[in-house]
C-alpha cells in the first residue's frame, strides 16, 4: 500500500490538552463490548502521568509496523492493509500475552473471563470512545494528522 493511501487511514487521536478525565471513553468502550460499565474492561485507559502532571490515554495506535503482529506465536493478530486496523482474532488467540509484553504501550490486555488478549477493534468503524468524548480529546482522524500531532507533541 502506498504511503499516501496509508496516510488517509482512520485512527484515534488523543489530545491531552482537551481531556477532562471524565473517563466517558472508558465507560463507552466497556459498555459497547461487554454491556457493562467496568473500567477494567475498557480497551483504552486514561492515566495520570506523575512525571509531567499530565493526563494520557493508553490506547492502540494501530501501528504502521505493529510489533504485536510479529510477536504473536499463533498469528492471531493481523493488520488489515486496507484500513490499517490491527485486530486480534479471538478464535486463534491462546492468551499467552506476548502481544502485551511486546507492545511499546502495553495495550493488549488479558481478559481473564475469556482467557484471551483483547485490544481496540475500532468498534466496527464507529469508535465509541470518540463518539462519547464531548471535549473531543479523543477523536477519529486521518493517520497523517496523527503522525503530525505526535511529531509536534511527543518529540
Q: What is the mean pLDDT of residues 69-98?
A: 97
CATH assignment at residue 110: 3.30.70.20
Look at residue 3 in the predicted model and tell me its pLDDT.
Answer: 83
Q: What is the mean pLDDT of residues 39-61?
A: 91
Give percent above pLDDT 90 in the chain: 86
- Are residues 91 and 69 part of one domain? yes
The structure's pTM equals: 0.91
| pLDDT surpassing 80 at residue 1 | no
For residue 52, name the pLDDT band (cuts at 50, 70, 90).
confident
Looking at the fold, whether 49 and 68 belong to one and the same domain comes out as: no
**Mean pLDDT of the region 45-72:** 92
Mean model confidence pLDDT for the chain: 95
Give a yes or no: residue 90 inside a domain.
Answer: yes
- Provide mean pLDDT across the span 61-76: 96
Residue 48 shares a structural domain with residue 73: no
How many Å apart are CA 28 and CA 108, to the nearest integer?
18
Distance set, CA 69 to CA 79, 103, 115 (Å): 7, 9, 19
Same domain, 50 and 74: no
The answer on 55 and 1 residing in a single domain is yes
Same domain, 73 and 127: no
Nearest to 3 by CA among 50, 65, 94, 46: 65
Domain count, the chain: 2
Average pLDDT over residues 96-120: 97
Host domain of residue 137: 1-59+123-150
The answer to whether residues 42 and 25 touch, using CB atoms and an 8 Å cutoff, is yes
Query: Please, is 25 exposed, middle or buried when counting C-beta atoms within 10 Å of its C-beta (0-12, 13-18, 19+)?
Result: buried
Same domain, 55 and 75: no
> What does the block give as the cell for 6?
496509508
Query: Are 130 and 103 in a shared domain?
Result: no
Contacts of 5 (CB under 8 A, 6+ apart): none
How far are the Cα atoms of 55, 76, 136 from residue 18, in angstroms, in the given order? 10, 35, 7
Query: Is 155 within a domain?
Result: no
Task: Over range 140-144, report the average pLDDT.
Answer: 96
Structural domain includes residue 101: yes
Which pLDDT does position 50 carry in this prediction? Answer: 84
Query: Is it the case that residue 155 has pLDDT exceeding 80?
Result: no
Both 29 and 101 in one domain: the answer is: no
Beta strands in 18-137 (DSSP E): 45-49, 54-58, 77-79, 86-88, 109-111, 116-118
pLDDT band at 53 (very low <50, low <70, confident <90, very high): confident
Amino acid at each position: 500500500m502506498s504511503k499516501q493511501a496509508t496516510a488517509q487511514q482512520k485512527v484515534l487521536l488523543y489530545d491531552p490538552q482537551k481531556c477532562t478525565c471524565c473517563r466517558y471513553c472508558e465507560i463507552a468502550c466497556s459498555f459497547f463490548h461487554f454491556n457493562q460499565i467496568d473500567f477494567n474492561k475498557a480497551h483504552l485507559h486514561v492515566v495520570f502521568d506523575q512525571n509531567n502532571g499530565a493526563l494520557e490515554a493508553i490506547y492502540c495506535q494501530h501501528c504502521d509496523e505493529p510489533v504485536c503482529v510479529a510477536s504473536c506465536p499463533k498469528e492471531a493478530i493481523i493488520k488489515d492493509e486496507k484500513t490499517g486496523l490491527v485486530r486480534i482474532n479471538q478464535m486463534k488467540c491462546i492468551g499467552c500475552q506476548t502481544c502485551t509484553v511486546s507492545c511499546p504501550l502495553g495495550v493488549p490486555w488479558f481478559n481473564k473471563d475469556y482467557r484471551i488478549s483483547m485490544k481496540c477493534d475500532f468498534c466496527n468503524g464507529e469508535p465509541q470512545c470518540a463518539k462519547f468524548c464531548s471535549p473531543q480529546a479523543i477523536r477519529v482522524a486521518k493517520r497523517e494528522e496523527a503522525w503530525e500531532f505526535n511529531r509536534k507533541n511527543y518529540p
